[in-house]
Chains A and B, each alone.
Chain A
Amino acid sequence: MKYILMMQFPLGDWKTKSIEAWPPQDVKAHMNFLRRFNKELSDAGEFVRTEGLGGPEQMKIVRAGKDGTPAITDGPFPESKEVLAGYWIIDVETPQRAFELAARASAAPGPGGVPLNMPIEVRPVMMSSASGEI
């Protein structure tokens, strides 16, 4: 079964507490953790994909105008409290295994090397495609 592990970051803290505001050595320790974690997932055959997203200041909300041309507004939605910072797609046997991996990701080192213990949203994936076939 495929699951998505979503790193949800408090939107109000983005400017002051996101990785962009960390000292370089802490960023390095975090990235080393991620590389190790991804390699372990890969070696175990559980890795499907991971991606880190640009900050909320670059986020746009798009819908089609009447003539089909894009109507673009600056994101995020005013009512948003969290922002997706990045995610993993994993392929595992049980939800428990997905939760274990989410806990590992949650404990990634943050400022001063202290575990972030950030909340990870875990959701089953219903369908996936890289070929256009759904």
Chain B
Amino acid sequence: MKYMLMMNTPRDGYAKYMSWPKPLIAANTDFMRAFAGKLAASGELVSAMGLASPVQAKLVRAGGDGKPVTDGVFPETKEFLAGYWIVQVGSAERAYAIAAEASTAPGMGDSPLMIEVREVMSGPPKDSR
């Protein structure tokens, strides 16, 4: 079973991160590197991605002619995806344990890191194949 572990951030999260004391940023980066390395070593890491700040995010739709219509992100959105891990594990419990470990990444402690856990679908819904 594959799970996606999603790390969210408020709109100003990246600016806040950059204002952390340097040693704390280094500790956070070291944690992330060691964590990904451990998951890779255990064969559970499928993919890990870190996204650029939501300040650079665009919402895109197809216009009537199929051409892209771009816009800023939803103004009411409070939480943005900052990055994620896809893990391949034997049980949901294992995915939750990995998510709990990710949530212990060093930070300012002002807003505890919460990890959203979603199952990745193995195929299309119902019998649509």
Contacts and interface: CB of A to CB of B under 8 A. Distances in A.
Interface string A74-97: 011101111010000100000100
Contact of B76 (A81, A103, A119): A81
B121 A52 contact: yes
A130 B100 contact: no
Nearest to B79: A77
Given A59-B118, A82-B74, A106-B62, A128 B50 contact: yes
A72 B70 CA distance: 37
A42 B61 CA distance: 22
Interface residues of B, number: 68
B15 interface: no
A41 interface: no
A69 interface: yes
A101 to B, nearest CB: 9
Chain A interface extent, by class: 35 or more
Secondary structure dominating the interface of B = mixed
Nearest to A89: B49
B77 A103 contact: no
B60 interface: yes
B96 A70 contact: yes
A106 B67 CA distance: 10
A104 interface: yes
B91 interface: no
17 contacts: A30-B128, A58-B119, A59-B117, A60-B96, A61-B115, A62-B5, A62-B117, A63-B99, A99-B58, A115-B62, A123-B52, A125-B50, A127-B50, A129-B36, A129-B47, A129-B48, A130-B46
Interface of B: 2, 4-6, 8, 29, 32-33, 36-41, 45-52, 54, 56-63, 66-70, 73-74, 76-79, 81, 86, 92, 96-97, 99-101, 103-104, 112-121, 124-129
Interface of A: 4-6, 8, 19-20, 24, 27-28, 30-31, 49, 51-54, 58-65, 68-72, 75-77, 79-82, 84, 89, 95, 99-100, 102-104, 106-107, 115, 117-134
